[in-house]
Amino acid sequence: MPASPGAAVGEIVFDSARAAAAGRPVILVRPETNPDDLPGMIAAQGILTSHGGKTSHAAVVARGMGKTCVCGAEELRIDLAAETVTVNGTVLRAGDVLSLDGTTGRVYPGAVPVHPSPVVRYFEGELSDGDDPLLAAVQRLMTHADQVRRLGVHANADTAADAARARRFGATGIGLCRTEHMFLGERRELVERLILAEDDTERDAALAALLPLQRDDFVALFEAMDGLPVTVRLIDPPLHEFLPALEDLTARVATAEALGEDPGRDAVLLAAVRRMHESNPMLGLRGVRLGLVVPGLFAMQVRAIAEAAALRVAAGGDPRPEIMVPLVGAVPELETVRAEAESVLRGIEGIPPIRIGTMIEVPRAALTAGDIAQSAEFFSFGTNDLTQMTWGFSRDDVEGAFFGRYLSLGIFTCRRSRPSTATASASSSGSPSSGAAPPGRT
């Protein structure tokens, strides 16, 4: 599956930590990726998975970073323990060179010559439009488009580097900054401490450690997007993404006990993970629910955003942050978070106006959007969650399970619905005819 376009060449690495520490061009090869793999995904030239499709974690994150990615190469047999990948009798090992074409989905053994396109080189400042006839034509087209367009394009970016690149490519703002990505890697331990805190003292200590890190993130982001809007989504992770895997912990504790050793912290973690384990974490304690259950979490993020904005104003900048509350399905959820956020904002001097809105990503929010709009200053639409919740399927699984069959049957093609006789004509009782809205509905 050509999940994210471009070309990449590098040595095969099967482990995200090794990819992040490699210091040389590598291709991260995994059965599938998860948020723990983000540091390796950032460092790798490209990403190759044997599972998933264009809406899988690897594909979505790679496209957001502009990283070459090929997903769902199901003929690959990836053995993480042996660090080998086998296909059609050919065995490749860690350190072997691999080439990816994210535009076609092709994977090549060995190094295939690649070079950046003239358009990319232009936006990266390496070329002028007089160096290449095609580039000159593209530049004329883009200049004309900027003069007549009515819509702007906002990018997804979670780092200052991503934001700066998006701005060079013509983005007119950041429409989604996923703050959960800022908590991965070395910071994950702090989030783990926050989630597992047993009293206010432990929780406040974890929040105090996270605050300056978050503030620095936002200072850099606002500086890169100076004068343009940046919509920051408050943290929205399924909890399992920040806790050790239940299976791994169980195995480590069992091994330690079998050897007569003290499992130590692993035993404490195992008890907590079992207590917080969810059968379906994507529909569990995440988004606004997490912010309401973990006291101070959203307030810390709001403070970090506001203090970063104040620092940029003091430095002569023009920050334009917006705060987005995730996974809202009921008005009281948004009102509760908004009241807490406004209380924090009132206590910080020198900040610009900061709007507070929400993401419409659960069906109930879509159906009650008129009510939620009374408490929201803006909406964004989270089409990933909204689509999978509306249809009742997982974006990570359906492409390999039944999408192919559904497409061949035409179930996912656009078809005009047959007119219903119940709405095509007026009844004698005064029901509205076709084209008229029922009383009280729009």
pLDDT score, position 140: 85
3-state secondary structure of 268: helix
Pairwise CA distance, residues 18 & 26, whole Å = 10
pLDDT score, position 414: 61
Whose tokens are 């580097």? That residue is: 161
pLDDT in tens, the chain (442 residues): 899 999 999 999 999 889 988 989 999 999 999 877 888 998 999 999 998 888 788 888 898 788 999 999 999 999 999 999 999 889 999 999 999 999 999 999 999 998 877 777 777 667 676 777 877 887 788 889 889 999 989 999 989 988 998 998 889 999 999 998 788 777 878 887 887 788 899 999 999 999 999 999 999 999 999 999 999 999 997 776 777 778 888 999 999 999 999 998 888 888 888 887 777 777 888 999 999 998 999 999 999 999 999 999 999 999 999 999 999 999 999 999 999 999 999 999 999 999 999 999 999 999 999 999 999 999 999 988 898 899 988 876 777 678 878 888 888 776 555 554 444 333 333 333 333 333 332 2
Q: Is the dihedral of CA 321, 326, 329, 331 positive or negative?
A: negative
pLDDT score, position 193: 84
pTM for the model? 0.79
* Helical H segments across 199-244, by residue range: 200-224
pLDDT score, position 418: 54
pLDDT score, position 429: 36
User: pLDDT, tens digit, for every residue of 275-317?
Assistant: 877 777 778 889 999 999 989 999 999 999 999 999 999 999 9
Pairwise CA distance, residues 89 & 92, whole Å = 10
Pairwise CA distance, residues 439 & 442, whole Å = 8
Measured torsion, CA atoms of residues 118, 4, 32, 26, in degrees rounded to the nearest 10: 0
Tell me 52's DSSP state. -
pLDDT score, position 390: 92
Pairwise CA distance, residues 85 & 75, whole Å = 10
Contacts for 36 with CB less than 8 Å, ≥ 6 apart: 16, 184, 188, 241
pLDDT score, position 198: 80
Phi and psi at residue 48, to the nearest 5°:
-130, 125
Task: Indicate the length of the chain as a whole number.
Answer: 442
Pairwise CA distance, residues 159 & 44, whole Å = 16
Contact 192/183 with Cβ under 8 angstroms?
Answer: no
Contact 237/327 with Cβ under 8 angstroms?
Answer: no
Contacts for 103 with CB less than 8 Å, ≥ 6 apart: 2, 5, 6, 7
pLDDT score, position 187: 80
Q: Is the dihedral of CA 190, 192, 194, 197 positive or negative?
A: negative
Pairwise CA distance, residues 100 & 65, whole Å = 16
* Best CA proximity match to 329, nearest among 283, 357, 298, 362: 362
Whose tokens are 């990018």? That residue is: 155
**Type and span of the H or E element at 298:** helix 297-314
List the end-to-end C-alpha distance of the chain, in Å, as a whole number: 41
